[in-house]
Chains A and B, each alone.
Chain A
Amino acid sequence: DTAVSQTPKYLVTQMGNDKSIKCEQNLGHDTMYWYKQDSKKFLKIMFSYNNKELIINETVPNRFSPKSPDKAHLNLHINSLELGDSAVYFCASSQGSWGTSYEQYFGPGTRLTVT
C-alpha cells in the first residue's frame, strides 16, 4: 500500500492556467508538507499543515494555495502558472504534533512543466 501518494505524476500545462496537485497519506499522520525541488535539484519547503491548520507558509507567491480538506489530504492549487513554476513538487507527512521531531515520508513527486 502506498503511504504517501500524489496525483498526477506528470503535469504539462501552459502559462496562465490553473492547476491542482493532490496528496493523500494513509499513515494516520498529523502533519503534511509541500516541498519544491527546482532544476538544480534543491529542495525547499513551501507549506506545512498540522491537523488541517496552516503552520508554515514560506515565501511562496500567493498564486500557490494549499488546501487541507482533512488530515489525510493536502492539495496544492496553483493559479496563473508561470514558467518559473516548473519543478518537481513533493508532498510529505510525519506523525506528531507541531514542534515535535518525527521522520518524514515523501510522496513520489509531481513533475510540473509549464510551457
Chain B
Amino acid sequence: KNEVEQSPQNLTAQEGEFITINCSYSVGISALHWLQQHPGGGIVSLFMLSSGKKKHGRLIATINIQEKHSSLHITASHPRDSAVYICASLRGTSGSRLTFGEGTQLTVNP
C-alpha cells in the first residue's frame, strides 16, 4: 500500500461540473502538496497546505489532519483543466521529502 493514496485514478467530467479528487495519507505530515501535470509534462504546484482550506480561482483544497485526508475541488470545470492531479505529502520533520500519490487523470469534455 502506498503511503499516499489518491482516488479516483481516472475521472471524466462534462464542462461545468464540480469535481472532487481525494487524497489519503498514512503517516504524519507537515504539509500536503497538490500538483498539476499538464499533458505536455510540466508540473505546477497548485497548493501547499497544512491545515484548513485554500482557494485559488476555481480551485479549492482542503485538509483534515486528524483524518489524514485532503481533497481538491474544481468548480465550473473547463476542458483546459484536463491534466493529471497529484497529491504529495511533505514530511518536514524528516526533511523536505515529498512522497507522491499515483495521480488522478482528469478529462473534462466540452
Contacts and interface: CB of A to CB of B under 8 A. Distances in A.
A43 B86 contact: yes
Chain A contact residues: over half helix, strand or loop, or mixed?
strand
Contact of A55 (B37, B88, B92, B95): B95
Given A99-B92, A99-B93, A104 B42 contact: no
A88 B37 CA distance: 13
Interface residues of B, number: 27
Interface in B14-55: 30-31, 33, 35, 37, 41-45, 48, 50
Contacts of A44: 100
Contacts of B84: 41
A43 B97 CA distance: 12
A17 B11 CA distance: 40
B43 A106 contact: yes
Contacts of B30: 101
A101 B96 contact: yes
A11 to B, nearest CB: 14
Given A43-B86, A106-B44, A101 B98 contact: no
A103 interface: yes
Contact of A41 (B93, B95, B103): B103
A60 to B, nearest CB: 14
